[in-house]
Amino acid sequence: MSLTAPHAAGTAGPMTPEPLRVRSLRRETSDTWTLSLDVSQRSGGFPFKPGQFNMLYVFGVGEVAISISGDPGRPGELIHTVRTVGATTQALRAVGRGGTLGVRGPYGRPWPMEEARGQDVVVVAGGLGLAPLRPAILHLMRHRAEYGRVSVLAGARTPEDLPFRRELARWQEDARLRVLVTVDKASPGWTEHVGVVPALLRDVEVDPARTVALTCGPEVMMRFAVRELERLGVPDSRIYLSMERNMKCAVAFCGHCQLVPFFVCKDGPVFSYEQLRPFINLREA
Amino acid sequence: MPQPLPPLEQHPFLRGLSPEQVGSIACASREVSFPAGALLLREGQQADTLYLLRSGRVVLELNVPGRGPTLVETLKAGDILGLSWLFPPYRWHLDARAVEQVEAFALEASCMRGPSPEHPVLEPALAMRLLRQLYDRLERVRLQRLDVYKAGA
């Protein structure tokens, strides 16, 4: 299986941020926000592929790589989900409704939705890793007849930390998907699973020869998920991970996101485990 | 019409063992049911049973003084529950509560353990299966302990 989708540069050029107005801001968790940017002035909206990211620039503060979390079938909406963990992401949140951000993108190799056609798909998301996987899930739902069984396994620290919680509940009601949700710890009253998200792989039917696994989350969580998938017999070439590195230029010039032979911004962020296996356990200097 | 539940020897924990081995491990076993909310294990009580879960889900609860119960792991059909019978003082270290109706086999620990940990009578096949369960659980606990979703983790 290969990833062959080309990069699609934004209309403003790969290094020039395009100013876009924040149309709305919705709180997901105590520190996570989903913001919608106004692309109504753009002809054709803002097309992207599931798994791609944009560079969002807070003028005078800094620029940060954020996955697109919207529906690829609705390019009239440009949605990102941001966790406010540093100065730039806090400033991003503070821009608020009506404010303007600079946007470059979309960048990066997407999830292998074409290669997965006709196959079963298992999505394993940890924490905000669900954000870059959400476009893939929405794509699978939109083109449901073209895929086999679809399972979504989502985990978070606590129930309050689950992003897209209402949407997850809706998906759980949708017979087209099997959706299991887990948290690392919970208080009484929580009736979903408790435990780590890779353990949920034991609860879904996985035919290793026809399953494509898409996983995103903290890197150590993905390693555990890969180990569980390997135990189930899923080949490395069918396991895909979205990697997070410190992306600066997003066009493979600066080298900040280099992972041995790969520039995560250009060669990734989505890689097959077959590609990553020799490098994923390397210690950072 | 619900499917009948598989018999004891088809439970994933015992599957593949010879009838003699199953007979030895489960020399005294019974089918048990618990309604949603019922406690299967209660912290401090005598640990003398290995449960093989057949259907339903069970959540493990740890009581943290001052904070109340914290749910730490969910077990479900195919899993085993309760290992404190292996070693003295043979008391449960946590609570286990049925999240929904639970069906299980209850195996008496006396069939599996000897008079003391120094004189075990564990079948080697059983010992390896228990070790596998403990190893898998240890891996899960390690990942949980890393608290990977915490900001800055």
pLDDT at A215: 97
Using alpha carbons only, what angle is made at residue A25 by residues A189 and A150, rounded to the nearest 5 degrees? 55
Indicate the average pLDDT of chain A: 91
- Which residue, B105, B97, B94, is CA-closest to B75? B97
Residues of chain A with C-beta less than 8 angstroms from the C-beta of B138: none
Is it the case that residue B153 has pLDDT exceeding 60?
no
Q: Per mean pLDDT, which range of A11-15, A18-22, A280-284 is the poorest? A: A11-15
Residue % of chain B over a pLDDT of 90: 66
Task: Pick B59's closest partner by Cβ from A184, A194, A202.
Answer: A194
Greater model confidence, A20 or B86: A20
Indicate the average pLDDT of chain B: 90
Separation between Cα atoms, residue B52 and residue B8, nearest integer Å: 9
Is residue A14 very low, low, confident or very high in pLDDT (cuts 50, 70, 90)? confident
Question: How big is chain A, counted in residues?
Answer: 285
Is residue A4 very low, low, confident or very high in pLDDT (cuts 50, 70, 90)? very low
pLDDT at A179: 97
pLDDT in tens, A52-111: 999 999 999 999 999 999 999 999 999 999 999 999 999 999 999 999 999 999 999 999
Q: Is A156 in Cβ contact with B71 (below 8 Å)?
A: no
Q: Is A85 in Cβ contact with B148 (below 8 Å)?
A: no
B146, closest residue in chain A (CA to CA) = A220
Is it the case that residue A281 has pLDDT exceeding 90?
no
Q: Is A224 in Cβ contact with B143 (below 8 Å)?
A: yes
Task: Pick A199's closest partner by Cβ from B140, B146, B151.
Answer: B140
pLDDT at B120: 65
Using alpha carbons only, what angle is made at residue A202 by residues A164 and B34, rounded to the nearest 5 degrees? 90
pLDDT at A3: 43
pLDDT in tens, A152-182: 999 999 999 999 999 999 999 999 999 999 9
Separation between Cα atoms, residue B116 and residue A100, nearest integer Å: 71
* End-to-end Cα spacing for chain B: 48
Residues of chain A with C-beta less than 8 angstroms from the C-beta of B57: 193
Residue % of chain A over a pLDDT of 70: 95
Using alpha carbons only, what angle is made at residue A182 by residues A65 and A138, rounded to the nearest 5 degrees? 50
pLDDT at A1: 46
Which domains are present in chain A?
Answer: 18-107 (2.40.30.10), 120-276 (3.40.50.80)
Could you tell me if the ipTM is greater than 0.95? no
Is it the case that residue A9 has pLDDT exceeding 50?
no
Q: Per mean pLDDT, which range of A7-21, A56-70, A132-146, B79-93 is the poorest? A: A7-21
B144, containing H or E segment:
helix B124-146
Is it the case that residue A11 has pLDDT exceeding 90?
no
A221 and B CB contact within 8 Å: yes
Residue % of chain A over a pLDDT of 90: 80
Q: Is A220 in Cβ contact with B151 (below 8 Å)?
A: no
Is it the case that residue B6 has pLDDT exceeding 70?
yes
Separation between Cα atoms, residue A194 and residue A132, nearest integer Å: 23
Is it the case that residue B58 has pLDDT exceeding 80?
yes
Q: Is A196 in Cβ contact with B147 (below 8 Å)?
A: no
Is it the case that residue B23 has pLDDT exceeding 70?
yes
Amino acid in position A131: A
Using alpha carbons only, what angle is made at residue A267 by residues A266 and A268, rounded to the nearest 5 degrees? 90
Is it the case that residue A285 has pLDDT exceeding 80?
no
DSSP state of B5: P
Q: Cis bond leading into A188, ω under 30°?
A: no
Is it the case that residue A131 has pLDDT exceeding 80?
yes
Q: Per mean pLDDT, which range of A45-49, A183-187, A220-224, B117-121 is the poorest? A: B117-121
Q: Per mean pLDDT, which range of A35-49, A200-214, B124-138 is the poorest? A: B124-138
pLDDT at A259: 85
CATH architecture of B8-146: Sandwich (2.60)
pTM of the model: 0.89
Give, in order, the Cα–Cα distances in Å from A21 to each of A79, A101, A125. Answer: 12, 6, 29
pLDDT in tens, B69-106: 999 999 999 999 999 998 889 999 999 999 999 999 99
